Amino acid sequence: MNENKAKKKFSLSDASWVYVMFGSIAMWLAMCAISGKFSFESLQTNIIAATFLAIVSIGQMLVVTTGKGAMDLSIPGTITLAAFLNSMLINGDPNKIVVGIIIIVLTGAAIGVFNSICVLGLKIPPMIATLAVNYILSSFAMMCNSHMGFERLVQADVLVAIASGKTFGIYNMIFVVAAITILVVFLLKKTTYGKSLIALGQNDLAAYIAGMHINKVQIFTYILGGVLGAIAGLLISVRSGGAFLGMGDDYLMDTVAGVVLGGTLMSGGRACAVGTVFGCLFIRIVVTLMQLAQFDIGVQYIIKGILIVAIIIIGTPSRRKTEQM
């Protein structure tokens, strides 16, 4: 029996993040080969770029895990809006940081609540609901944009220290992502919420029959997704030094790719936070590689699109198999 246990430890489903990690390293080596120089700096640059993506992707992962093909398409709008709120509310003023952050986080939470009202209350398919919400959010961002002058270029020192600074030679963002990942892993593995979320994603009817509070679980999940999106938007704007329209748009596909690559099931019921983080790193390195190879931005879109479809096709059992189950 013990032997069996040991074998299980290394099964694909539990440790798929190991593959992504090795994949990322392989990609990094490929990148070194292409650029002709071997440098840890380039890995670090990719890691830092991946950290911002990882924060949103973890939120996306939680929403995807609720099952039935759920996805949060309101992420781009959330990021952009949070970035504008940073410029408008904080605008580099250290005295306004606390209030500003609270408002941004609450905005993220409100977006989550609104999403879950649409999905649970109005019974709109998650994809459509969050798509519509995204349009509303980007309108808000446009509103902010037209009511704003040029003051948006200043960033608060504390926030800059978090988004770009280092401690003991390691980027602070790595600590932030590590903390968020540990928190989410803890939620998923140790709490009733985590178990309920995973159960819900596998079979919502069975989860209900087993007595779980499936509505509460979903509402909290959308809130968490919104909050993580807002935090990421804040940090992204701090790092890039401002806010501009459409700044969140590129993140949407990347979150999906990162989540799927990390071993999370698109159909729900299996989440892997560590895998998501490495999945994001992988995607960032692919993008850097494409940039290094001087691919046109259009080609980059095509490759990313094909990558997504291919990953999902490989990751989904075929029709015949599912019918047998």
User: Quick one: 40 exposed, middle or buried, by C-beta within 10 A (0-12, 13-18, 19+)?
Assistant: exposed
User: Is residue 171 classed as helix, strand or coil in its secondary structure?
Assistant: strand
Among 36, 95, 209, 294, binds other proteins (CB under 8 A): 209
User: Quick one: 253 exposed, middle or buried, by C-beta within 10 A (0-12, 13-18, 19+)?
Assistant: middle
User: Any contact of residue 302 with other proteins (CB under 8 A)?
Assistant: yes
Among 90, 173, 217, 223, binds other proteins (CB under 8 A): 217
Specify the residue, 2 or 95, whose C-beta has the smaller distance to other proteins.
Answer: 2
- CB contact set of 194 (below 8 Å; sequence gap of 6+): 187, 188
Specify the residue, 3 or 41, whose C-beta has the smaller distance to other proteins.
Answer: 3
CB of 122 to other proteins, least distance (A): 4
Q: Taking CB under 8 A as the criterion, which residues in 37-66 touch other proteins?
A: none
What gap in Å lies between CA 311 and CA 44, rounded to an integer?
26
Check if the beta carbon of residue 159 is closer than 8 Å to that of residue 97. Answer: yes
- The two tokens of residue 167 are 């401690």
User: Any contact of residue 85 with other proteins (CB under 8 A)?
Assistant: no
CB of 257 to other proteins, least distance (A): 9
Map tokens 């209900």 to a residue.
Answer: 208
Q: Taking CB under 8 A as the criterion, which residues in 255-294 touch other proteins?
A: 256, 265-266, 269-270
Among 40, 121, 161, 167, binds other proteins (CB under 8 A): 121
Among 143, 158, 182, 293, binds other proteins (CB under 8 A): 143
CB of 121 to other proteins, least distance (A): 7
- The two tokens of residue 60 are 């996306």
